[in-house]
Structure 1
Amino acid sequence: MAWFFDAQQTFISAFTDADPSWHCINKTDWSCTSAVSPCSLPEGSWSWDQPKHASVISEWSLQCSPPALVGLPASSFFMGCLVGGLSLATLADSRLGRKKMLVFTCFTVSITAGLAAVSPNVWVYSALRFICGIGRATVGTSALVLSTELVGKRWRDRVSVIGFVLFTSGFLSLPAIAYFNRGSSWRNIYLWTSIPSFCYIILICFLVNESPRWLFVRGRKNEAIDTLKSIAKSNGYFINTSFSNLHIAEEKWNVDLYSALRILYQKKWAFKRLTTVMIVGFGVGMVYYGMPLNLANLGSNLYLSVTINALVELPSTLIALFLIDRISRIHSILILTAISGITSIACVLLAAGGWKMAMEVVSYFSACTAFTLLLIYSIELFPTSVRNSAISMVRQALVFGGVFAPLLVAEGRKRRFLSFGVFGLVIACCGMFVSSLPETRGRGLTDTMEEEECKEIASSSYMNP
């Protein structure tokens, strides 16, 4: 369920920070009816279509503010995700463990979301969104790792799929919540998402066990055995075997994120791979996180648009799984980023609302599929010794793209090219960098930097005899 609440906080700004529609009080006033925005109109000549407290923009009169200020809350959230991903990356493997890390991050997200509902101004609101982003950065990872380590090998793939389905379900719940909240304050949406999240934390504390694998690795053998017995008992089994002869050496050293980055930096081929895949991730992340926030600029029904975008995430994963065994990683990502870029730019050029919506859906669908393939490709590009840290950096690049997306969305309310157009150019251009990476389809995973380096040298020799 952590993925469910993760999705809600990731995309909640699509409704709370939406630019509300307005109308002229005097329908015969040509100067008012021809205006693109109410900024140049005298006070009293126009009014919001919904109550002023329906959106952050209208409640705090941000309609004429600079795009940097309008997009600040959403950008602060993604910046918090960036900071949290870098600062909290190793705590689940070292001090806190899986369960405590999940409780801590979910608690941070729940409390800051609840406090956002009572924000007095945009600055406090942005600060709370920043802290919420720090907590949200590791929610999905903590939940996935803990759940897969608590089940047997036969259930791990299913648990991973369930996590993704719950993320999509959380995304889908937002338009439903916002629709029933229409005409009411945007603060209610935060309350309706934070209270269930807090209840979920209570359930974790009392019903979820710590990972026995992590306990064993940390040298806490007795606690690990007690956990295994508790899990077995809850499933109707009893463990009577003595573990007195079981000896597992406590892990004394870990390659954490920072030492792994140092290793990657020292190897020229590894640093080139990491830099390149992060550039691609930046472009994909900008569209993946930015497109749902940009739906209000389409001029279509916002509730329907967000629902359709949430629904396309499921088939995008199925398409990614289909492409994995049939088309090379490079060609797949190159084609998908190009399609996403072209269709995003098409949203600027097309006038018909239906066709614009169709192009936006294709663009987002392609970005979602590229998102999944890029993560799989990144796993194959790096050896086991640094793989987790490399993937963490790729995910940070994806989030970094999300940092700029809200600013472009705010600017796109006045000039559409600065949202859809820039999105398209960035993902298409960044996607081209994938052509400089080695192909990994059909190749086995490596465990050490030396083993991967040998493959890199062999590949270079084959390409340049």
Structure 2
Amino acid sequence: MADPAPLLPHYNSSDALNQAGKKRPPSVDDGLESYIGGNGFCQFLQATFVTFAWVFDAQQTFINVFTDAEPSWHCTGAGNDTLCSSESTTCGLPPGSWAWDLPAHASVVSEWGLQCAGSAIVGLPASAYFAGCLVGGLLLATLADSILGRKKMLFLSCFTMSLSAGLTVVSPNLWAYTAFRFLSGFARATIGTSALVLSTEMVSKKWRERISIMSFFCFTLGFLSLPAIAYINRGASWRTLYLWTSIPSLIYSVLIYFLINESPRWLLVRGRREEAIQTLKSMNDSVINSSFSKLVVVEEASDINIFSALRILWKKRWALRRLTATMIAGFGLGMVYYGMPLNVGNLGSNLYLSVTFNALAEIPSSLVTLYLVAKLNRRSLALTCMTMSGVFSLLCVVVTAKQWQMAAEVISFFFACTSFNVILIYSIELFPTCVRNSAISMVRQAIVLGGVFAPLLVAEGRKRSFLSFGVFGLVISCCGLFTASLPETRGRSICDTMEEEEYREREASNATP
């Protein structure tokens, strides 16, 4: 086997400019494609195992739909019967004239008597979780690019999220419960990003999109498992649901630490050549051979710290423009993506079935994404899907029949899921390895920021549907327009340094008539 081109994770921009009109300098991606070739079984198995982090991510994200739901109730026949009816509210009824259909410990609302509390209080734990995601993303986003790497960041995030979710079962009151949800969200902030980046950086270009879609399938699996677990444990304490989800997640995080390798791309860009070589050999020993003895690696010269990736994104105007556009689109997307499952209770349908329908919508969404990303441009696909999600969300306000409202809500959520998948795949290709994890984390934090506002709009939507479905539709449609300003990335290899990305953009500009 002939020696592939040497890997050059960093080269000066002046060198790139001097090669205008010549062959593009070799990159880490070129070299890894040559060395990895096809994907070995061990390599594919590790990447697949990493994607399972999305299962536990989804469970903790949507668990409040069941633990914080207001249970149904019935009149007991005691006291003044004329005061109690199906049209009454429990707040205005005398004690003893009504009772919960399930034991009081089945929900946070019934256990702590929150049925008469304001919407801000009832939605506080869910909002605290998303607020924790936002703060955690801002503080932890750069660690995977700078100091810890993808693997250690994934382990620490998953382990801490699992531990805090497990400790939630000992919450004595709403305020302690809210604090644990904030901590769980804080730790969870980088799980999806680290898992997505690590898994896609382990495989060749041929499998990159498929591994990304596999991550989204795992998120769907986690989402789907929640109504099943909740239904099995109906009548049991809401604390049981946290135990069922936190213990498997804790075991998984330990396995990640001992069984999974670090990203070879990140190791090469950080100048850790020998570790990268050993990692590649362990993943695909049948292809990686003695030609590594001739490998030429130039270490990145910049000073690396926890703020270096964000500083690079801030200084480079083209990177800042891309980041701003994707974050604005992500904000509108997050409001619908996280808000729709929380809002199904306002439709008056069965909660278990409604959440299951929403979760099932993610399966065809992933399949459609896998097909469309290979056929259509990322930019037009993201814009179209976000617009369609907005249109069907607005239809939920216009139509009055419950079955048609439910259908429009599921379709809107389907397009939001597809947009979510496309935006994350798009972001992987828009930003080079040296800042990729930080950039995608910022995009996800913008998505989470939209989720922070979602519970408040859902609570207000109980009075007027336009304040939930209507606002959702307008925001995602308007924010989706910003994707039109992004460059197209379909069919191209990903870059590893800022200079390489700038050189490629210059080539594209020169090629445009």
| Residue among 145, 161, 171 paired with 1:93 | 145
Residues 36-72 of structure 1: CA distance to partner in whole angstroms, max 9, x if unpaired?
A: 5322222222222211111111111122222222111
> CA offset at residue 431 of structure 1?
3.1
The Cα RMSD (Å) is 3.4
Q: Which residue of 2 aligns with 1:258?
A: 310
Name the residue aligned to 1:170. 222
Q: Percent of counterpart pairs with the same letter?
A: 62
Task: Select between 123-132 and 199-208 the one with higher mean Cα deviation.
Answer: 199-208
Which residue identity is paired with 1:296?
G
2:474 is equivalent to residue 425 of structure 1: yes
Q: TM-score, normalised by structure 2?
A: 0.77
| Structure showing greater relative contact order (alpha-carbon pairs closer than 8 Å, 6 or more residues apart) | 2
Q: 1:443: Cα distance to partner? A: 8.7
Q: Residue 187 and residue 213 in structure 1: after superposition, are their counterparts in 2 closer, same or farther (change >3 A)? A: same
In structure 2, C-alpha distance between the alignment counterparts of 1:141 and 1:374, rounded to whole Å: 12
**2-structure distance, mates of 1:44, 1:11:** 33
Q: 1:133 aligns with which of 182, 185, 201?
A: 185
Q: 1:260 to 1:62 in 2, by over 3 A?
A: farther
- The answer for the alignment partner of 2:352 in structure 1 is 303
Aligned partner of 1:96: which letter?
L
More deviation, 248-257/185-194: 248-257
Q: Kindly tell me: are residues 426 and 144 of structure 1, through their superposed partners in 2, closer, same or farther at Cα, counting changes over 3 Å?
A: closer
Pick the aligned partner of 1:77 from 121, 126, 129. Answer: 129
Correspondence list, 1:189-204, <5 A: 189-204=241-256
Stretch moving more, 138-147 or 116-125: 138-147
Compared with structure 1, are the counterparts of its residues 456 and 277 closer, same or farther at alpha carbon in structure 2 (3 Å cutoff)?
A: farther
| Alignment counterpart, residue 91 of structure 2, candidates 39, 64, 68 | 39
SS in 2 for 1:159: helix
Match of 1:23 in 2: 74
Map 1:353-368; keep pairs closer than 5 Å. 353-368=402-417
Residue 101 of structure 1 and its aligned partner are, at CA, apart by: 1.5
Deviation at 1:357, TM superposition (A): 1.4
Q: How does 1:110-121 map to 2 (within 5 A)?
A: 110-121=162-173
Q: Which residue of 2 aligns with 1:370?
A: 419
* 1:345–1:425 contact (8 Å) kept in structure 2: yes
Match of 1:395 in 2: 444
Matched ranges for 1:274-353 at <5 A: 274-324=323-373, 332-353=381-402
| Range with greater deviation from structure 2 (339-348 or 66-75) | 339-348
Q: Which moved more, 1:70-79 or 1:150-159?
A: 150-159
Q: CA deviation at 1:289?
A: 1.0
Show CA shifts across 1:416-445 (max 9, x none): 43322322232233334555x266377968
Shift of 1:79: 1.4
**1:405 shift after superposition:** 0.8
- CA distance, structure 1, for counterparts of residue 261 and residue 489 of structure 2: 37
Q: Secondary structure at the match of 2:71?
A: coil
SS in 2 for 1:347: helix
Say yes or no: does 1:6 pair with 2:57: yes
Q: Which runs of 5+ in 1 are unaligned?
A: none
**Secondary structure in 1 matching 2:144:** coil
Report what 1:440 is aligned to. Answer: 488
Give 1:218 deviation, angstroms: 3.8
Amino acid at match of 1:18: A
Cα deviation for residue 345 of structure 1 reads: 3.2
Equivalence map 1:43-82=2 (5 Å): 43-82=95-134
Work out the CA distance in 1 between the residues paired with 2:292 and 2:505: 38
Tell whether the 8 Å contact from 1:232 to 1:239 is kept in structure 2 after alignment: yes
2:456 to 401, 407, 410: 407
Q: How does 1:205-220 map to 2 (within 5 A)?
A: 205-220=257-272
Q: Please state how far the C-alpha of 1:360 moved relative to its aligned partner.
A: 1.0
* Shift, 1:8, TM fit: 0.9
CA distance in 1, matches of 2:343, 2:139: 29
**Residues 71, 409 of structure 1: 8 Å contact kept:** no
Q: Give the 3 Å change call, closer, same or farther, for CA 33–176 of structure 1 in structure 2.
A: same
Q: C-alpha deviations, 1:392-420, integer Å up to 9, x for none?
A: 33222111101111122233334443322
CA distance 1:387–1:109, shift in 2 (3 Å): closer
TM-aligned CA distance change 1:177 to 1:231, over 3 Å = same
Larger mean Cα displacement after TM superposition, 198-207 or 33-42: 33-42
Query: Number of paired residues?
Result: 453
- Change beyond 3 A, Cα 1:125–1:175: same
Amino acid at match of 2:103: P
Report the CA distance between 1:272 and its aligned residue: 5.2
- Counterpart in the other structure of 1:142: 194
Superposition TM-score, scaled by structure 1 size: 0.85
Partners in 1 of 2:288 and 2:416 — Cα distance?
Answer: 47
Q: 1:362 to 1:152 in 2, by over 3 A?
A: closer
